[in-house]
Amino acid sequence: MSDFKPGLEGVVAVETEIMEPDREGGTLRYRGIDVEPLIGRYPYENIWGLLVDNDLDSVMPQPEPYQPARLTGNAPSDLQAETARFSGEWKLGKLSEISDQQAREDLGRLSAQMMGIVARSARVADGHTEEVPESVVAKGTTAAEKFLLQWRGEADPKAVKAIDTYWICTAEHGLNASTFAARIVASTGADCGAALSSAVGALSGPLHGGAPAYVKPMLEEVAATGDPEKWVKDTLDAGKRIMGFGHRIYRAEDPRSRILKETARALGSPQIEIAERLEEAALAELERRHPERPLKTNVEYYSAVVLDIAEIPPPLAPAMFACSRVAGWSAHILEQKVTGRLFRPNARYVGPAPRSLATV
């Protein structure tokens, strides 16, 4: 028990063929394939196929007709609740009792629905009570286009490109907290709806998938002060973290951050200038304060800038992340079913020694 690692940092918990984060910050590879040249050539749904089926010509299926039970407009919570409901609605079989092929089918059906739930929840948050007619949504040719049509009834090409690129860049990233959660639940033999809804819950926290929600207000605050250097120093002096910096795995630039920064530039983001100024100031000050621990720009920083091009409201950011991650989660749930073993780590007891009730 002497090898206790808080947060399991550095502990190898599974072997995977899906992807390995490139710690040196060079390349983002899914199933061994560099993702950068795929952007613009294949839409997100083919990347889903690459991750889940190891086949770029396989695609995430089209969603089947389905009416969510009740949407509140809080997309992460709607997504978590509605995804869990599919276990009952569709009578999903337990992973321990169904074939690998059946699990793959369940994951495809669920993934396609999850995007639609987020789009509809965002529409409720915008104050609409009527859904966009199916005939309008059907005009979309890609998942990103359909997503925007289902949400807003229209799909601006720049917004489609921003969302598609963001989804591709964040589709999978090894054994992060949400993927681990999905694999833990899958390891018990639960159904795919239970595994995916657990992953959504894990992704909703600010230390994992929620950071973009904090980045946009941060950029606005910094732009208002006009002095990124001072803002960074004041923030760190107050003991706060700068959202969008630092990563448990990367000790160099996150390749996803580089790709998303280029996308933000290419799509003419109005925030790119202040984002680059803040990045420069933050990297310099973090390096000065933590020379022993490289704290670089992470995926969520430029994700926020790219999502802003599509006018994604910050509270929707975790659910947008969840939409992209359905691919990685599905691939891991399937891998867990095929090759995995029930997770059951140990805890070291550090509580009170045995004592009598009289001492309480």
Q: Which residues bind ligand COA (CB under 6 A)?
A: 207, 211, 241-248, 290, 293, 295, 298-300
Minimum distance of ligand COA from residue 191's CB (angstroms) = 29
The answer to whether residue 300 is catalytic is yes
Cβ burial of 157 (10 Å; 0-12, 13-18, 19+) is: exposed
Q: Is 247 a catalytic residue?
A: yes
Could you tell me if 147 and 326 are in contact, meaning their C-beta atoms sit under 8 angstroms apart?
no
- Of 45, 300, 332, 335, which one is the catalytic site residue? 300
Q: How far apart are CA 325 and CA 343, in angstroms?
A: 22
Q: How far is the CB of 299 from ligand COA (least distance, A)?
A: 5
Whole-number CA gyration radius for the chain: 21
Cβ contact 330:48 at 8 Å: yes
DSSP state of 33: E
User: Shortest Cβ contact with ligand COA: which residue?
Assistant: 246
Return contacts of 86-94, CB within 8 angstroms, 24+ apart. Answer: 86/110, 86/113, 86/193, 87/191, 87/193, 87/194, 90/193, 92/191, 92/192, 92/193, 93/191, 94/189, 94/190, 94/191
CB 173 to ligand COA: min, Å: 9
Query: Residue 288 or residue 290: which is nearer to ligand COA going by CB?
Result: 290
Q: How far apart are CB 246 and ligand COA at their closest, in Å?
A: 2
Residue 248 burial by CB count (10 A; 0-12/13-18/19+): exposed, middle or buried? middle
Residue 9: CB minimum distance to ligand COA, A = 7
d(CA 226, CA 115): 38
The token pair at 125 is: 């948050």
Nearer to ligand COA, 263 or 298 (CB): 298
- Kindly name the residue from 45, 247, 332, 335 that is annotated as catalytic: 247
State which residue, 141 or 225, has the beta carbon closest to ligand COA: 225
Q: C-beta of 291: minimal distance to ligand COA in Å?
A: 11
Q: Are 326 and 143 in contact (CB under 8 A)?
A: no
H-helix or E-strand spanning residue 29: strand 29-30
Nearer to ligand COA, 108 or 246 (CB): 246
Nearest residue (CB) to ligand COA, 7 versus 351: 7
Pair 151, 122: CB distance under 8 Å? yes
Distance CA 36, CA 260 (A): 10
| Residue number, 146 or 173, with CB nearest to ligand COA | 173
Residues serving a catalytic function are 247, 300
